[in-house]
């Protein structure tokens, strides 16, 4: 019996079993794994969570590194790329172009397992989009069920469908007055809807900070936030449908800033980072702020999709403020070269896959 594993799938439909896991564990007869979608919602409504008896693991869709592995990159190839990143070295032109090609494919496909499997099988954007549309409809069905169970009229689906268009705006924030087109609307009125979208894992929340200090969580403003979709393929599906030219072509009329920001948010979240952004009325806006646990400071991250990647006045302003104790800033772009200019390090956008929340490789830390 000691080597028997019991797997409980879709446990969100039977939340009482989460409470029972404590007693199952005490019997020491079997090992248990429970999985399910929207578990963040189920756990929030479960009356008794057996603390200490459950190890909670959040699962994400394939990140870019895993997408590379699915496309034939082996462990040694990934390790060589990581070593280049750690040594702040540029890749050769041919390998850089190959990675950028795969990144563009990832922007279209994303990391949803069914979408990735369809891409690997058919390489047909029409079929990939059909999978993504089915997922989008499923999200809407789940939201409708939640609205019904809550006993009140919520606007989850409306807010979710607003996200792609809001991301095309300069500020990229959800404007609450646009939810029901009421000028005097307030964020507090929709807290439950936002909580559902965040706790369910359907969206990624990024809170604003105007005066950043480490740790960032102490400075966050809860009522001003951006919402990104949990998967960049879902975003490009809604923005461009079956047209691949915005990603693969040189369409000057298309600004890919929102798409690049979404994939960076997705990568940072999958690698253990809490997401914040800098927004100061006088100093400007920086796309992301993350905690640097090694230096006990913050790391601002700016994402550039165009050729003007060295233009970042808000980042410069942030780095120039001594009280914030910001040691360096990171700019992600399509440019191949890794270089340092003052406090700013420029790296290719695909290197984001190696920016984990620890910053080091140690498996254990003894004290």
Does residue 267 sit in helix, strand or coil?
helix
Would you state the pLDDT for residue 152?
A: 62
The radius of gyration of the chain from alpha carbons, rounded to an integer in Å, stands at 22
List the one residue out of 246, 249, 194 whose CA is nearest residue 222. 194
Phi (first) and psi of residue 228, to 5 degrees: -105, 155
Among 185-189, 211-215, 225-229, 305-309, where is mean pLDDT lowest? 185-189
pLDDT digits (tens, 9 = 90+) for 264-285: 999 999 999 999 999 998 999 9
- Tokens found for residue 255: 């600004």
Give me the percent of the chain exceeding a pLDDT of 90: 58
**Beta carbons within 8 Å of 152's beta carbon, 6+ residues apart:** none
pLDDT digits (tens, 9 = 90+) for 5-55: 888 888 777 777 777 777 777 777 888 888 877 676 666 666 666 666 677
Which sign, positive or negative, has the C-alpha torsion 182, 186, 192, 196?
positive
Would you state the pLDDT for residue 251?
A: 76
Whether cis (ω within 30° of 0) applies to the bond prior to 184 is no
For the entire predicted model, the pTM comes to: 0.90
pLDDT of 1 > 60? The answer is no
């Amino acid at each position: 019996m000691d080597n028997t594993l019991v797997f409980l799938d879709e446990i969100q439909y039977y939340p009482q079993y989460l409470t029972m896991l404590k007693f199952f564990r005490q019997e020491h007869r079997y090992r248990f794994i429970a999985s399910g979608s929207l578990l963040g919602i189920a756990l929030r409504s479960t009356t008794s969570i057996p603390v200490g008896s459950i190890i909670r693991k959040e699962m994400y869709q394939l990140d870019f590194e895993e997408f590379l592995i699915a496309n034939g990159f082996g462990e040694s190839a990934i390790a060589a790329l990581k070593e280049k990143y750690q040594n702040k070295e540029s890749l050769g032109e041919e390998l850089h172009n190959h990675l950028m090609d795969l990144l563009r494919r990832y922007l279209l496909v994303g990391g949803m397992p069914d979408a990735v499997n369809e891409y690997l099988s058919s390489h047909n954007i029409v079929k990939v989009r059909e999978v993504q549309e089915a997922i989008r409809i499923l999200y809407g069905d789940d939201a409708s069920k939640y609205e019904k169970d809550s006993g009140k009229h919520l606007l989850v689906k409306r807010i979710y469908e607003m996200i792609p268009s809001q991301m095309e705006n300069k500020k990229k924030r959800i404007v609450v007055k646009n939810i029901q087109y009421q000028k005097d609307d307030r964020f507090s009125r929709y807290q439950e809807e936002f909580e559902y979208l965040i706790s369910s894992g359907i969206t990624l929340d990024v809170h604003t900070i105007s005066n950043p200090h480490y740790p960032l969580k102490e400075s966050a403003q809860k009522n001003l936030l951006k919402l990104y979709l949990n998967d960049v393929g879902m975003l490009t599906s809604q923005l461009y449908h079956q047209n691949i030219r915005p990603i693969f072509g040189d369409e000057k009329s298309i600004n890919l800033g929102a798409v690049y920001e979404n994939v960076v948010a997705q990568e940072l979240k999958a690698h253990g980072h809490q997401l914040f952004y800098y927004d100061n009325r006088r100093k400007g806006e920086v796309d992301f702020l993350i905690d640097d646990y090694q230096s006990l400071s913050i790391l601002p991250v700016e994402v550039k999709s165009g050729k003007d990647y060295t233009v970042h006045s808000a980042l410069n302003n942030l780095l120039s403020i001594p009280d914030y104790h910001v040691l360096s800033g990171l700019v992600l772009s399509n440019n191949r070269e890794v270089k340092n200019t003052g406090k700013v390090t420029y790296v290719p956008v695909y290197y984001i896959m190696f920016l984990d929340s620890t910053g080091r490789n140690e498996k254990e830390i003894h004290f």
